[in-house]
Amino acid sequence: MRHGPRRLPRLLVLWSLVTAGVLLVIAAARSPVVAQGVPQVRIVHAIPDAGALSVTLDGQPVAAALDFAAVTEYQPVVAAVVQLRVAKFTEPASPLLELGVEVPIDRPSTVVLAGRLGSEPAVRAIVLADDLSRPAAGRAGIRFLNAAPGSGRVTVANAAGGFIGDGVAFGESSESIVDAGRYLLRAVRAETELSSVTVDAASGRSHTLVLIGQTGGSNPPVLLSLLGPRSGETAAVRMNTGPGSVLIDEGFADAGGILPASAPFGSALLYGYTDGEYYLRNLDVATRSLAIPGDFSDATIAVDTRLVGDIAGRTVSVGCRFTTESASSNRGYRLRVEPGTGVFRLVREDGPRDFFLRSDRVSPAIMRGSATNRLELTCNGSTIRAAINGVEVAVVQDRTYPTGPLVIGVGARSSGLTSEARFDNLLVTQR
């Protein structure tokens, strides 16, 4: 069932000038549309116990605080050797990796950061060339990479007994072509299941499975499913990237949009596409957020959102210049709305505590109960501006955080509550 006005159904891909006269596509992570023959790189964080990572490519920031199991969007690169720098978010001056990484120049690639801190196997960058060729109709490609240190040789098989990878060691990968369909895939070592994931192997598409984590550690093994890139046959282009330009216009019509199709195994925040909307289901009390691919300094995020199920004490939110260090430690600006009471607040989250830019206030602009509300938050220079259903409810000045991702979120005020929300008609505009 649709709620609110429909907007354009696909991501409008932003082109940026990286060298004189050269335009390169910036594509979306996990479900990207990329240009044939254009070198691009996305990064996967698979280093257990490393915390959030700061990542740069050729001196340009890719992620300020990339969480474990998170994936960046594709970034354009100019040369076959990319200068990669990786550091802990909490220790930016001490790099874990600083080296030149060779990537293919005629296609996109996925670079997986893997290994252990302070022991073998050492931290490294594993490069996977992403194939833009389309499998035959009715067939799908699935690639498996073992990036879990200490996992030994791992076999990935489906319930029918077909193998995606057989005895794949750390740092190695294997590829298979299968009939299109829905597969429950299990990663097994010596008859012990390490993780499983369901993959919707669509006709003519490619998928990558990455086993990350480690046994006996705080990040147990999990199969991370990444949708492979498509050639640019469906890409829409906006050449104007000045103030007012639309960077993202997404209607969540299908699972080929800009957000991930499913959450990692064991996540306390579940998410995915459902009936033309996107859902977030928070399994505990803390407000949890999902980042929109990209790093935006001056932008507006606007989205339609509604609560599903119990609404008492539940909240929906949007954030800008926002980084997540842990479930209870975020940094950035957030507009939080409680439709059950008609209350909103605008906060600056400073790690484990909030600074109220506008404390709890009732606004008649808020639609009550499970009705759809359009939330809008702008970070533009030092101006932080919030609007609900087209009505400006707060504007403040704050210079604490200059850049960072945009996020959508759902949560609750009291312990022991779960919360769920639907999102639609996501629009990101440059300021």
Q: Where does 34-123 sit in CATH, by number? A: 2.60.40
Do the first three CATH levels of 34-123 and 131-233 match, i.e. the same topology? Answer: yes
Looking at every residue in the chain, the average pLDDT score rounds to 82
Instruction: Report d(CA 33, CA 26) in Å as an integer.
Output: 9
Strands (E), 70-221: 75-76, 81-88, 91-102, 109-114, 124-129, 139-146, 154-158, 163-168, 173-179, 181-189, 192-201, 206-212
Q: Which residues pair with 54 in a beta bridge?
A: 87
pLDDT in tens, 191-202: 899 988 888 777
- Domain 131-233, what fold? Immunoglobulin-like (2.60.40)
What per-residue confidence (pLDDT) applies to 277? 92
3-state secondary structure of 381: coil
Kind of pairing between the strands at 139-146 and 206-212 = parallel
Shortest CA distance to 298 belongs to which of 319, 318, 320, 317? 320
How far is it, in rounded angstroms, from Cα 69 to Cα 212? Answer: 7
Give the global pTM.
Answer: 0.51
Give tens-digit pLDDT for 357-412.
999 999 999 999 999 999 999 999 999 999 999 999 999 999 899 888 899 999 99
**Distances from the Cα of 262 to the Cα of 24, 74, 126, 197, 245, angstroms:** 28, 19, 23, 10, 29
**Structural domain spans, the chain:** 34-123, 131-233, 236-430
Query: Which pLDDT value is given to residue 255?
Result: 63
Residue 21: which residues within 8 A CB-CB, separation 6 or more? none
Predicted confidence (pLDDT) per residue in 82-126, tens digit: 999 999 988 989 999 999 999 988 788 999 999 999 889 999 999
| Assigned superfamily of 236-430 | Exo-inulinase; domain 1 (2.60.120.560)
